[in-house]
Structure 1
Amino acid sequence: MSTTHTATQERTVSLADHLINALARSFTLGIDTEGCTHHYYRRADAVVVFDGRTLDHYQTLDGRPLTEWKAFVSQKRGWASMGQLAPLGLRVDSERKETPRV
């Protein structure tokens, strides 16, 4: 029984690590009320906004938390829906940016 439990724990850690690594690269923040998709790219620390297949806007965050962009869009356009991984991605982004760099 403990062997099965250990295998399950290892698989869970592996899936969690995979998810965090995926979020470390990029994820969809959500779709605003105008139908534009907001996608975060960690490598560039930027949000790219697409209107269908056309680039609508590119915004670098320059180290600011992604939650600021989410709040900005909430005030300007509003959100129609949030991306499936957005809550976790926002948390990971906040934790990463709050951690003091040495």
Structure 2
Amino acid sequence: MSTTKADPQERTVSIAGSLADAIACSFTLGTDAEGYSHHYYRPADAVVVYDGRDLEHYQSLAGRSLQEWYEFVEVKRGWASEGPLAALGLRMNAERTEFSR
């Protein structure tokens, strides 16, 4: 049996990698003031809006920035709460959409 301890940085790297992978796939943008939950799904470049468990709306972004959707909801309904990864996800999306232009 080995008594060698694992390098603490290994765990940090795997957590950071897992976080980046999770955001790269999808994340919760937030819940609007009317109680609808907005999720970004990157493989489809789309926002999916749920009313509880029911699909309420699907919006393809077609290459537009996710920030545009965020601001649209802010004006139309307002945000009640932001998803835990929303700020980081918005920033990553902005970098991706700027790079692709």
Fold-level similarity (TM above 0.5): yes
TM-score by length of 2: 0.88
CA distance in 1, matches of 2:65, 2:10: 31
1:56-95 correspondence to structure 2 within 5 Å: 56-95=56-95
Q: Secondary structure at the match of 2:16?
A: helix
Q: Secondary structure at the match of 1:23?
A: helix
Q: Say yes or no: does 1:51 pair with 2:51.
A: yes
CA distance in 1, matches of 2:65, 2:93: 7
Q: Secondary structure at the match of 2:7?
A: helix
Q: Secondary structure at the match of 1:35?
A: coil
Q: Which moved more, 1:24-33 or 1:91-100?
A: 91-100
CA distance in 1, matches of 2:100, 2:23: 20
Letter matched to residue 67 of structure 1: Q
Letter matched to residue 72 of structure 1: F
Q: Identity over aligned residues, as a percent? A: 63
Q: CA deviation at 1:65?
A: 1.0
Q: CA deviation at 1:10?
A: 2.5
CA distance in 2, matches of 1:100, 1:50: 29
Unaligned runs of 5+ in 1: none
Letter matched to residue 26 of structure 1: S
Tell me what 1:36 maps to.
36
